[in-house]
Structure 1
Amino acid sequence: MHDQIKKAAVIGSGVMGASIAAHLANAGIPTLLMDIVPKDADTKNRNQLAISAIKKLNKQNPAPFYDQHAARLITPLNLEDDLYRIKEVDWVIEVVVENLEIKQQLYQKISGFWEKGTIVSSNTSGISINEMASGCSQEFQEHFLGTHFFNPPRYMKLLEVIPGKYTKPEILEQMTRFSEKTLGKKVVRCKDTPNFIANRIGTHGMLVTLKEMIKNGYSIEEVDAVTGPAMGRPKSATFRTLDLVGIDTFYFVSNNVYKKLEDPNEKEIFHVPQLLHDLVEKGWIGEKAGQGFYKKIRTEKGKQILSLNLQTHDYEPMSKPKGASLEAAKLAKGTPKKLKALLAGGDRYSELAWNVTKQMLIYSAEKVGEIADSIVEIDEAMKWGFNWELGPFETWDAIGLEKSVKRMEAEGLTVPTWVTDWIADGHTSFYEQKEGERFYVSRSEYQKLEKAPEEISLAQLKAKNKVVRSNSGASLIDIGDGIACLEFHSPNNAIGADILTMIQQSTEEVKNQFDGLVIANQGRNFCVGANLMILLMEAQDEEWDEVDQIIRMFQNTMYNLKHFEKPVVAAPHRMALGGGVEVCLPADQVVASAETYYGLVEVGVGLIPAGGGCKEYMLRLSPESAPRDRDIQADVNRVFETIATAKVSTSAAHAKKLGYMCETDDFIMNEGHLIYEAKQAALKLANGYKPKGRENIRVTGREGKAIMKLGARQMQMAGYASDHDVLIAGKLAHVLAGGDVPKGTLVSEQYMLDLEREAFLSLCGEPKTQQRMQHMLSKGKPLRN
């Protein structure tokens, strides 16, 4: 049913409307983008607002498109001339100003052209769904609902779906499935209450934080130090987030709830502090105005960030708060331990964290049943909409449910009865893990947390004893239907001897027991490359035989994986860099997450790819079976430039444009479905699978090498490359060209691997390469030397 939406219309081409249209285009959905006709527009400029919005999309950073070619799927139109064209679409999304009267008038116009079966939704962040469509027919309202995207739509995974009182269950189900599978969203169903779930809880939390700050004299920097990563929240914490969102927008959202609430105590919480009134009045509304709680200025030393002094309303150089609880949280591993360390610190920062947390937990518990059916929707809304590591009830479990409730009651707070009853019944947490399944509290009992079939959890499979083999770096897991998954779980999923050993052992297991292999994991990133620390230590000790052995092991493992007798599918997500790419290259197919940042970045640490990366790209460009007279120099130059400049794709679609992925490779929008889709690809390949044959490579030789080296020299003369960059580029050119052989020479894969290994070894001995490696390990970013 999810694939029944083939074309869409977005009404409203502001920042949010245009960005939603861009994400629909990312998903391959042709989209009509409509707006009003500008005042005094002539016949040629009636679509100008939508045209300008599409142009702005191409300039935005972060980019709304996976690939700028997706913009071709958006058609700019206007409401006066073109509203009738909604007859062409399956879904109409309204994204106009947050004004009930304007929205109601628009829906009356839409109703005039609406045809039965077309879904209509509003992107409102808080206006009542039922009120908006109240003047339309019941049949129209049966196809109407709220679909609240979070900004920016490409990157923020949460989509709040809000049914009206007449919305058909099958329409709600269709939109949920379409949004999850085709748009890659994490859908949370909400009730039609002010600001729905995420903004209701999130706004409450920010207002509580503001009032604690004002009451107890904390600075902006102190609050952000507490309410960021120390609490499992984003680095933007409270005030950087407000600057990004827009203080005026937050002011509006808070007031929207305030006006609609009847409970005087709750109403008081949503009463906006005078501080926000003052900032909005001054126009200091955040990044879009150049200043808010923070302000960036240019100095002789470069950019400097100033923070607002709340007493003087002047901007001053930022200070870095220090305290025992902050340091303890920083040293702790994992959000639950960070929270416990922060709350147990006993200083003023610990006190702030507790005062903010306790109010958020109680408020979330009070809203169960009112804004959402269960604790799960609230937790997921906050994780996916505000990028919290833990939702409110997961936080409560992490800090200790019984202990924290006792502390709250000792401080005179009223904890919702259902929570105290749950504890009185002998329960110590809201969630429970049992036999590989997760359960949550629902109506005074644990209920199983159901997942869609596409959501394969490696952690749950491991809990169900589905591990076939395992070591410190990786595990082979039976994911069903004759397919095994090789999961990396070393620190940062960096490739070392443990992972390579497990790849070798996995092929033996798969050969005997399974029909295919998927290489995937559910860590923060797929793989950030090889274990640089080990390489640097061996190089500094001049243990060249050890370095040689490491590279040979990597090369041989990838070579054997490529020619394995069963199909292999690689499923990268997020960062797949250096060796992470080289692990994917031997696969029969890559099924990537759309948000995959893919690149051979070895030159950033003074090296070149040596796990078969250079060899594989040359084999793709110039196999022996290709026409002998085909001139490939221009293509080789592009590969040389891509690797020599360490280009990283901004998406999986961009990785295809860069040549990192093949046309047969695929990407999916929903990262949570990645292992399932990779498994389906492996099953399809397994039917009549034939292993890859061995083929020689026709190289450009010394002539091609000279052309590439000339390009590097020109980069140096233009000031874009250092002497060491040119040295590395020369080594790379030597490998890609196939060494000092005549143009058109056929060489074997092993010959190319030997060239890679020799170049890599020689660069490891360079002091400037070792400096680059050391800098990356200590600073986390490349060194130009």
Structure 2
Amino acid sequence: MNKSIRKAAVIGSGIMGSGIAAHLANVGIQCLLLDRVPQVLTDDEVRKGYTLDHPVVRNRFATGAVEKLSKSTPSPLYDITFAERITPGNLEDHLSQIVDVDWVIEVVVENLQVKKDLLSNVERYWKPGMIVSSNTSGISIHEMVADCSEAFQRNFLGTHFFNPPRYMKLLEIIPGPLTDPAIVQQMRTLGEKVLGKGVVLAKDTPNFIANRIGTYGLLITLQAMVEQGFTVEEVDAVTGPAMGRPKSATFRTLDIVGLDTFIHVAENVYANVTDEMEKAAFTVPEVMSNMVEKGWLGEKSGQGFYLKKKGASGSEILSLQLSTLDYVPQKKVTSGSLEAAKLAKGARAKTKALITAGDRYSEFAWNILKHVLIYSAEKVGEIADSINEIDEAMKWGFNWELGPFETWDAIGLVKSVGRMEKEGLSVPTWVKEWIAQGNQSFYQKENGTLYYVSEQSYKQVEQPTEIISLRSLKEQNKIVKGNEGASLIDLGDGVACLEFHSPNNAIGADILMMIQHSLEEVRSNFEGLIIANQGRNFCVGANIMLLLMEAQDEEWDEIDSIIRMFQNTMYKVKRFDKPVVAAPHRMTLGGGVEACMPADQVIAAAETYYGLVEFGVGLIPAGGGCKELTMRASQHVGNTDADLQPYINHIFETIGMAKVSTSGHDAKRLGYLRSSDRIIANQDHLIYEAKQSVLRISKAGYEPIPQERFQVVGSEGKAVLQLGALGMRESGYISDHDLLIAKKLAHILAGGDVPAGTLVSEQYMLDLEREAFLSLCGEPKTQQRMHHMLTKGKALRN
């Protein structure tokens, strides 16, 4: 039961099936992708003289799906070369090959009989120990295999991925009545540790957990909207970030999901529940059915609740008037409650501010929320065993910041239940009994440990050892040192963690000072240091606002001091006499990358978007980024007979085009990460893995990285780089200011005006970086770029 999953077969190569196959390939699992055999030739196949018996034709569906993976945006693959791990085939010729796999996943059409027939065929080739699962979004797991052998049923379960499988964190595991508990645990471990998912155990009920609650919430919102006369944009203004929900809110979410898909999910519940009130709640509004009849399915058809219309002055997003089914220009939505929510910090405070403000939007939010909370409470024990699994499912599957029970606590459990009952609503008995015992909330935290209500008492939320919460450690007074920008936290076992917590985790003097203080503390009292945090993004770079203000005031000495401090701090990290491991995640840009580069090892989350982007604001990397990449290239070539110039050309292009990786694996392809750096699929495990790395390095006997000189391409190589930039300017690809920055970048990467092959020191390269950075800060067009980035959030190419 504990054998690893090395090879899998995915049956069904549609968007979901191919996406699952891609994610299996992402984590190194070889995958067989099977689909039906086409019954009709395409025009292209006819021109090529193929028949229906030709292998290319017979494998067309699966082959086409694999080809699309490399072209899709956003990509289902961490690296497009991972598509090579997927072997396409068809069900008639290749189903027998599943005898060689460890896991078969059924991802065919949501039709019970189709699934039963397919699984019956799968059983013909099934062997003991092979796990079989269905990716159904709501069909009964038990009914699918009711006609199969008991041995097969013991190895069968539901594994419901959310779309897109690479990016959505939730994986619902649904055991059948005969599923072996050891199989359930094995798949849970696989989901968390290998696939990087947040796993919840769901009951075998219609639509399981997330789709059951989420669909109910969307339908309740639609019904309240129609009854109270709100517009599409008003509803989205209320049900987005103001309520702790994603920016896609209600109607953009429906457009993304697809109205036909949503109706199918809603009708599945309607057909499989017996309570008349619940059936009524899952009745699809007539307006939505009318939209589907018109082909207005959302983004996949080009229009749904929103329509993007191109005009003479650019594109405009129109919203649908439900009463007339006409598209009209959107109106800006403002109110006291929305402003109160916007000003509040954190989802808990935002939601409470929204529903207590007292205007019509506040009342609308309350009227939706109260029904979702009660429905969620009614389903405890039916769709999941615990409130915690329901909360996690909604956060991971629908990107809610708070689950329903966390939301209930945030708005005040006792007070809100009183309001519900005053308005004539029936609150589940178990909730009232819990309050009657004197409890004020569903969750409570003691000494950093979280507990939730279970069977009228508090039960500890079980966290895998691989999850280390910095927030919990801080609540346990594990902060060793700290200031406004960063804190040093004791992780135990002799390892400390430096956590950034400035706005957007941007690097300023406070963080740099804290890094230096941390090195002193670790040298005396710890085995090693990790640089990591659990913010939304690891680090968006240096504090551009501070740099712009200093540049506008012509405080050149101050800018020089800031850059020297950054460079000196990173140099100290690199030369530190104990191991340092950096653990970046998501957006890691500019100075954030340079904060990782001196580490002995980088352990990055698979979803890490990593890049030196200073060119976009008219600058060059000056915290050691140029130096470090050049040095790595030189060290690589020094061990071979290769020419250094092509490596420097690549670095010049990467920095000059401000390339950002699309994943941790892509960061390796771009050269930002080294072959010795590691990629972790589950971001929640990042700090644990970094801690283990520090302990391994320390135990092996750590020796600081020695200083050494390295060769550069010199003036000849600089001419090559500048010639390439000049050609791009003459072709109109870059501006005059881009060319100016490119020339300065070329000067640094080439090592200045020295002969090719000259050996230079790291400090020499750092001086080149700093000089170029200072001169660019004085350029009016660079200052314009910095201002544009701060005000518009995007690069200006002036």
- Tell me the TM-score normalised to structure 1 length: 0.99
CA distance in 2 between counterparts of 1:705 and 1:328 reads 55
Distance 1:438 1:746, change over 3 A: same
Which stretch shifts more, 34-43 or 653-662?
Answer: 34-43
CA contact (8 A) 1:34 1:77 kept: yes
Q: Which residue of 1 aligns with 2:43?
A: none
Q: Is 1:319 the equivalent of 2:368?
A: no
- Within the candidate set 126, 151, 157, 1:145 is matched to 157
1:659 deviates by 0.5
What amino acid is the match of 1:608? I
Matched residue, 2:595: 583
Match of 2:784 among 765, 771, 779: 771
Tell me the residue number matched to 2:531.
519
Name the residue aligned to 1:24: 24
Amino acid at match of 2:667: A
**Counterpart-to-counterpart distance in 2, 1:85 and 1:743:** 57
Counterpart-to-counterpart distance in 1, 2:474 and 2:351: 27
| CA distance in structure 1 between the aligned counterparts of 2:637 and 2:646, rounded to whole angstroms | 19
C-alpha distance in structure 1 between counterparts of 2:53 and 2:237, whole Å: 53
- Who is 2:5 aligned against? 5
Kept in 2, the 8 Å contact 1:528–1:578? The answer is yes
Could you tell me how far apart the structure 2 residues matched to 1:55 and 1:413 are? Answer: 53
Look up the match of 2:507.
495
- Give the Cα separation in 2 of the matches to 1:43 and 1:735: 57
SS at match of 2:147: coil
The answer for the alignment partner of 1:680 in structure 2 is 692
Shift of 1:3: 5.9
Give the alignment partner of residue 436 of structure 1, picking from 438, 448, 452: 448
The CA deviation at 1:630 is 4.3
CA shift digits 1:264-323 (9 cap, x unpaired): 111110111111111111111111111111111222222221111112211122222222
**Offset from partner CA, 1:224-246 (integer Å, 9 cap, x none):** 11111111111111111111100
| Equivalent residue for 2:713, pick from 688, 693, 700 | 700
1:396 aligned to 2:411?
Answer: no
What is the aligned partner in structure 2 of residue 760 from structure 1?
A: 773
Give the letter aligned to residue 753 of structure 1. L
1:728 aligns with 2:741: yes
SS in structure 2 of the partner of residue 754 of structure 1: helix
Query: 1:392 corresponds to which letter in structure 2?
Result: P
Deviation digits for residues 634-683 of structure 1 (CA, Å, limit 9, x no counterpart) = 11011001001100000000000001111111101000000111111111
Q: Distance in 2 between matches of 1:240 and 1:175?
A: 33
Q: Given residue 35 of structure 1, which amino acid in structure 2 is its aligned partner?
A: D
Give the match's secondary structure for 1:753: helix
1:464 corresponds, among 476, 490, 493, to: 476
**Partner in structure 1 of residue 48 of structure 2:** none
Which of 45, 53, 72 in structure 2 is aligned with 1:42? 53
Task: State which of 405, 427, 436 in structure 2 corresponds to 1:424.
Answer: 436
C-alpha offsets along residues 101-132 of structure 1, whole Å, 9 cap, x if unaligned?
Answer: 01011111011100010000000000000000
Cα gap change, 1:625 to 1:251, in 2 (>3 Å): closer
Q: CA deviation at 1:741?
A: 1.1
The one-letter amino acid paired with 2:783 is Q
Name the residue aligned to 1:538: 550
Match of 2:168 among 139, 156, 164: 156
- Partner of residue 642, structure 1: 654
| Counterparts of 1:477 and 1:334, CA distance in 2 | 23
Residue aligning to 1:73: 85
Change in Cα spacing, 1:329 to 1:3, as seen in structure 2 (3 Å) is farther
Check conservation: 1:340, 1:399, Cα contact below 8 A.
yes
Asked if structure 1 preserves the Cα contact closer than 8 Å seen for 2:637 and 2:644, the reply is no
Superposed CA deviations along residues 532-575 of structure 1, whole A, max 9, x for unmatched, are 11111111111111111111111011011101111111100001
2:675 is equivalent to residue 651 of structure 1? no
Deviations 1:417-475 (A, max 9, x none): 11111111111111111111111111111111110000011111111222221111111
d(CA) in 1 for partners of 2:311, 2:719: 44
* From 216, 235, 242, the counterpart of 1:230: 242
Please name the residue that 1:241 is paired with: 253
Q: Matches of 2:655 and 2:204 in 1, distance apart?
A: 52
Counterpart code for 2:514: M
Alignment of 1:288-367 (within 5 A): 288-367=300-379
The whole-number CA distance in structure 1 between the counterparts of 2:641 and 2:409 is 68
How far 1:624 moved relative to its partner?
A: 9.9
Cα pair 1:622 1:698 within 8 Å, conserved: yes
1:253-272 Cα offsets, whole Å, 9 max, x none, are 10100011101111110111
Correspondences of 1:167-178 after superposition (within 5 Å): 167-178=179-190
- For residues 527 and 501 of structure 1, what CA distance do their matches in structure 2 show? 16
Aligned residues of 1:2 and 1:177 also touching (Cα < 8 A): no
What is the SS of the residue equivalent to 1:569? strand
Match of 1:600 in 2: 612
Distance (whole Å) between structure 1 residues aligned to residue 397 and residue 73 of structure 2? 20
Q: Which moved more, 1:495-504 or 1:626-635?
A: 626-635
Looking at structure 1, the residues matched to 179 and 642 of structure 2 have their Cα atoms a distance apart, in angstroms, of 60
**1:750 aligned to 2:758?**
no
**SS of the residue 1:4 aligns to:** coil
What is the CA distance between 1:623 and its match in structure 2?
Answer: 3.6
SS of match in other structure, 1:622 = helix
Contact 2:570 2:623 (8 Å CA) reproduced: yes
Q: Aligned equivalents of 1:191 and 1:437: distance in 2?
A: 27
Cα deviation for residue 633 of structure 1 reads 0.9
Give ranges in structure 2 of 5+ residues lacking alignment: 41-51
Counterpart contact for 2:447–2:475, Cα < 8 Å: yes
Aligned length: 785
CA displacement 1:670-702 (0-9 Å, x = unmatched)? 000001111111111112111101111211111
The alignment partner of 1:502 has SS state of: helix
Change (3 A) 1:73 1:624: closer
The question of whether the paired residues in 2 share the 8 Å contact of 1:2 and 1:175 is answered with no
Pairing 1:130–2:130 present: no
CA distance in 1, matches of 2:31, 2:369: 42
- Larger CA deviation: 697-706 vs 237-246: 697-706
Bigger drift between 62-71 and 52-61 goes to 52-61
1:620 aligned onto 2:632 = yes
**What secondary structure, in the 3-state scheme, does the structure 1 residue paired with 2:514 have?**
helix
Would the aligned equivalents of 1:325 and 1:346 in 2 still touch at CA under 8 Å? yes
Q: Distance in 2 between matches of 1:624 and 1:53?
A: 38
1-side partners of 2:391 and 2:351: how far apart?
Answer: 17
Counterpart amino acid of residue 645 in structure 1:
M
The letter of the residue matching 2:762 is: E
Mapping for residues 267-282 of structure 1, pairs under 5 Å: 267-282=279-294
Report the residue type matching 2:712 in the other structure: V
Q: Does 2:119 correspond to 1:112?
A: no
The alpha-carbon deviation at position 716 of structure 1 amounts to 1.4
Classify the secondary structure of the residue corresponding to 2:444: strand
* CA deviation profile, 1:152-183 (whole Å, cap 9, x unmatched): 00000000000000001100000000010000
State whether residues 554 and 611 of structure 1, in contact with CA within 8 Å, keep that contact through their aligned partners in structure 2. Answer: yes
**2:582 paired residue number:** 570
Question: How much does 1:43 deviate?
Answer: 2.3
Selected match of 1:88 from 90, 96, 100: 100
Change (3 A) 1:137 1:602: same
Whether contact under 8 Å (1:624, 1:696) holds in the other structure is no
CA contact (8 A) 1:2 1:182 kept: no
Which runs of 5 or more residues in structure 1 are unaligned?
none
Secondary structure of 1:433 counterpart: strand
> Which letter maps to 1:521?
N
